[in-house]
């Protein structure tokens, strides 16, 4: 065998083996469908299986009605370039955050889980890269974007520039529901 065959054969085998593991079954396809949407309901997905808790995570309590957490969350949102995908909450590459359609749940603890664990098709996992308190603050800011008080305060200006604190009553529900 020539030396050329000895170097090309392992490379071809590696490419073939790598390609075999990258098939995608239809039932594994989840939202978002592609850059900029459309964003299809994906179901109540939970990392590593299991089920969503019906009661909010007790750690969320310190972030409700906390204006300072919302402001710090906004600063972190911008610093971590969340704005690169979600823009200022209106959506773009990532889904919008200023409406009532939450693909993976819109409760503060569910948003925390999405940021912490990441989601398939684009949302990176920030757990282990940011402190828990920072993730909670980003989740608080993200949750504030869809509040009526935040939307009213913007008066047609740049979305989410005047975020309102998140009242506990905003998340007084049993968790994820299929987006409308």
Q: Is 63 within the bounds of a domain?
A: yes
Q: Is 98 within 8 Å of 89 (Cβ atoms)?
A: yes
pLDDT tens column, 32-47: 333 333 433 344 455 5
Tokens linked to 140:
């608080």
**Structural domains counted in the chain:** 1
| Backbone φ, ψ for residue 137 (5° rounding) | -70, -40
Classify the C-alpha dihedral 80-33-101-127 as positive or negative: negative
Average pLDDT over residues 16-21: 42
Q: Does residue 177 lie in a domain region?
A: no
Is residue 83 assigned to a domain? yes
Residues pairing with 24 in the sheet: none
139 alpha carbon, distance to own chain's centre: 9
Q: How many residues does the chain have?
A: 180
Cis bond before residue 32 (omega within 30° of 0): yes
26 or 83, higher pLDDT? 83
The verdict on residue 92 lying in a domain is yes
Residue 57 has pLDDT above 90, yes or no: no
Q: What is the pLDDT of residue 137?
A: 98
Q: Is residue 4 part of a domain?
A: no
Mean pLDDT computed over 81-105 = 86
DSSP-derived letter for residue 164 is P
> What's the pLDDT score for residue 172?
80
The answer to whether 39 and 95 have CB atoms below 8 angstroms apart is yes
Give the residue from 120, 162, 113 showing the smallest Cα distance to 135. Answer: 113
Q: Over the chain, what is the mean pLDDT?
A: 74
18 domain-assigned: yes
In a domain, 123, yes or no: yes
Q: Indicate if the pLDDT at residue 2 is higher than 60.
A: no
Distance CA 97, CA 10 (A): 47
Structural domain for 41, as ranges: 9-171
pLDDT band at 111 (very low <50, low <70, confident <90, very high): very high
Residue 178 domain flag: no
Q: Which residue has the higher pLDDT, 159 or 82?
A: 82
The predicted structure's pLDDT at residue 74: 94
Domain of residue 44, CATH code: 1.10.760.10
What pLDDT was estimated at residue 173?
72
Instruction: Give residue-wise pLDDT tens across range 123-156.
Output: 999 999 999 999 999 999 999 988 888 877 776 5
pTM of the model: 0.68
Distance of CA 134 to the CA centre of its chain: 14
């Amino acid at each position: 065998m020539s030396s050329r065959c000895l170097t090309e054969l392992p490379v071809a085998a590696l490419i073939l083996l790598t390609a075999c593991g990258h098939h995608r079954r239809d039932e594994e396809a989840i939202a978002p469908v592609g850059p900029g949407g459309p964003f299809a309901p994906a179901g109540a997905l939970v990392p590593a299986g299991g089920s969503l808790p019906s009661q909010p995570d007790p750690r969320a309590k310190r972030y409700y009605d906390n204006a300072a957490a919302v402001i710090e969350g906004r600063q972190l949102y911008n610093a971590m370039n969340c704005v690169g995908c979600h823009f200022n909450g209106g959506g773009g590459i990532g889904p919008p955050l200023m409406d009532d359609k939450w693909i993976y749940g819109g409760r503060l603890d569910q948003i925390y889980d999405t940021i912490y664990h990441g989601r398939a098709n684009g949302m990176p996992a920030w757990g282990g890269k940011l402190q828990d308190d920072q993730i909670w603050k980003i989740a608080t800011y993200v949750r504030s974007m869809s509040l009526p008080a935040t939307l009213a305060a913007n008066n047609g200006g740049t979305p989410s520039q005047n975020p309102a604190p998140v009242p506990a009553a905003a998340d007084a529900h049993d968790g994820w529901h299929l987006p409308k």
